[in-house]
Structure 1
């Protein structure tokens, strides 16, 4: 299992709508990953199963979209991923050893947005 490397992607406007299905299609096209995932496709996600990296279903926690031709982190996607890590939408099934690393990855985007991640709030 694996947490993707932090890419420090630029941030979209905070009020930008998030449509994960539409973003997924744009990311695949931008990454030229129509047949199978590649490194560019991976960079839009926070976690993937490295043993199944050639399968799109191995990738979880999409936080980016393609905006003006650039891969860009979307604050509402980061917040949705943070909520999922807190159990929203049924939570997520990740290896125990990856959970803190996923949270650390997401926390960097929360900091960039000027926010605290939900797991650090009182």
Structure 2
């Protein structure tokens, strides 16, 4: 379960939402959402646990084996392995307010993005790296 900045435990926005322990690609790694989503679907081969590990959110009640109900990919498949990409995280942060998801889920995704920024700050040795709403 995710840890909120004040120490509060925050559940993921959906079951198995984005594996926060994946390795990071280099900070300047190119990322294209459409290509990354396609690659994730090919890599997961219908396995919902694999697919969910790439995204921060999955719409409840949909088909977890397809990408249609997933939002906010934060990883790409690099050399056959899921790998977090900072540009994907930044893209998720930029798109969050426009997403059509329930407010409670939006808050959970926001917490997850903040966690990813904090982890990226450590991984890239940049203490000033923070989610836009944490600045």
Over the aligned positions, Cα root-mean-square deviation in angstroms equals 1.6
Question: What displacement does 1:53 show?
Answer: 3.1
Local SS of the residue matching 1:61: strand
TM-score of the superposition, structure 2-length normalised? 0.76
Partner of 1:109: 116
Which runs of 4 or more aligned residues in structure 1 lie more than 6 Å from their structure 2 counterparts after TM superposition?
none
Partner of 2:50: 40
- Contact 1:46–1:61 under 8 Å retained in 2: yes
In 2: Cα distance, 1:94 partner to 1:76 partner:
22
Question: What displacement does 1:105 show?
Answer: 0.9
- Contact 1:6–1:105 under 8 Å retained in 2: no
Question: What displacement does 1:47 show?
Answer: 0.3
1:59-108 CA deviation, whole Å, 9 max, x = no partner? Answer: 101111111221011100000001112x4xxx111101112210111111
1:7-59 CA deviation, whole Å, 9 max, x = no partner? Answer: 321111111111111111211111112xxx61101110000112113443111
Number of residue pairs aligned between Structure 1 and Structure 2: 113
1:1-122 aligned at under 5 Å gives the runs 2-3=13-14, 4=17, 6-33=19-46, 38-54=48-64, 55-85=66-96, 87=97, 91-114=98-121, 115-121=129-135
Once structures 1 and 2 are overlaid, which stretch shifts more, 52-61 or 41-50? 52-61
TM-score of the superposition, structure 1-length normalised? 0.84
- Contact 1:16–1:76 under 8 Å retained in 2: yes
Gapped regions of structure 1 (runs ≥ 5): none
Gapped regions of structure 2 (runs ≥ 5): 1-12, 122-128
